[in-house]
Each structure stands twice: as C-alpha cells, then as structure tokens.
C-alpha cells in the first residue's frame, strides 16, 4: 500500500521543489535579496566601527556597482555618471558623520523590461543619529534604480535619489 503512494508523493515533492527553486532563483527575487543585502552593508550600528569592517562593507557595495553608474538627483538638476570609487568615497563620508545609520528597502517593485536589464522602484527608510542627538531621525523616500546583468551578476547602473536623502542629516 505504501509503495502505491510513494511515487506520487515523490513526484509532488519534486514538482514543489522545482517551483520553489524557480521562484527563489528568479531574477526578481535575486535582485530583491541583493538590494536587502546592500542596505545592510551601507548601514552602520555604532560610532566605533573598525576600519577593516568598513572597508569590507564598502568592498561589497562596490561589487554591486557597474563600471559607471548614472546618479540623478532631479530636484537639483544633477545627473552624472560616477565611477564606483567616487560613490564609495561619498558613502564613507556620509556614514562617518553618524553613530547610527540604518538603511532598509521596502515595497520593492522589480520589473524586467528587457533581457539583462531591470528597473526597481522602492521605498527607502533611513534611520540616522549624530553624536549628541538623543533620538534617531527617520526618513522615508522613494528611489528608482536600474540594474544590468553582467557576468551573471546584477549591477547598479542608474540611481535616482530625492534630494532629501542626499541632504539627510546636514
């Protein structure tokens, strides 16, 4: 009797496993996980972050940037392609001003309009606290990202930021 049910159960398990793998490894889900990891790398949890930890985090951030990433801030009329090293320098400068800097991507909508191209619209929640502030400040804004797939890896190709995120904490 148990042999009678064994083959259908195995077939069902293989089918469910295949569906899960197809979903989990789909480009949209890979991009969402990658951006969630990127948010964690950008963040900072304390004033005394060792330089080696910061360097490792920034290396991971640099690894998800295309060789030239177009950064756009519409309110300022700013749009310029930046090399990953310059973006990393800006992130380091921005992070060192805070004792707490937490970034989270929420409500991500990923579309893949063409092969090896993706567009992401997301809400970014940033919590930051400078030395001497009693409570962290929280900001929420919309960002748009464009990614390209090179060597089986999704890289940030274009970033559109609102001015409020660039000027946060000033």
**Domain parsing of the chain, residue ranges:** 27-166
Query: Residue 155's beta-bridge partner residues?
Result: 148
- pLDDT at residue number 167: 67
Strand ranges (E), 10-136: 65-73, 78-82, 100-114, 117-129
- pLDDT at residue number 34: 93
Calculate helix-pair angle for 27-42, 51-62, nearest 10 degrees: 150
- pLDDT at residue number 164: 77
Cβ–Cβ contacts within 10 Å for residue 162, how many? Answer: 18
Per-residue pLDDT of the chain (170 residues; tens, 9 = 90+): 567 777 777 777 776 776 666 566 688 889 999 999 999 899 888 767 788 888 889 999 999 999 999 999 888 888 999 999 999 998 888 888 888 888 999 999 999 988 899 999 999 998 888 888 889 889 899 999 999 999 989 999 999 988 877 765 55
**How far apart, in whole angstroms, are the C-alpha atoms of residue 118 and residue 40?**
21
* CATH code linked to domain 27-166: 3.10.450.50
């Amino acid at each position: 009797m148990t042999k009678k049910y064994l083959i259908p159960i195995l077939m069902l398990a293989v089918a469910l496993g295949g569906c899960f793998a197809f979903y989990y490894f789909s480009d949209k889900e890979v991009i969402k996980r990658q951006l969630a990891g990127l948010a964690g790398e950008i963040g900072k949890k304390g004033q005394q972050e060792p330089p080696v930890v910061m360097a490792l985090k920034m290396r991971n951030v640099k690894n998800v940037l295309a060789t030239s990433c177009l950064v756009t801030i519409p309110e300022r009329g700013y749009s310029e392609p930046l090399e990953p090293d310059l973006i990393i320098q800006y992130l380091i400068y921005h992070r060192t001003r805070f004792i707490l800097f937490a970034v989270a991507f929420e409500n991500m909508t990923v579309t893949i309009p063409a092969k090896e191209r993706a567009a992401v619209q997301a809400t970014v929640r940033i919590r930051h606290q400078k030395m001497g502030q009693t409570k962290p400040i929280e900001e929420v804004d919309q960002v748009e990202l464009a990614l390209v797939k090179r060597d089986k890896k999704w890289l940030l190709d274009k970033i559109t930021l609102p001015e409020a995120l660039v000027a946060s904490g000033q």
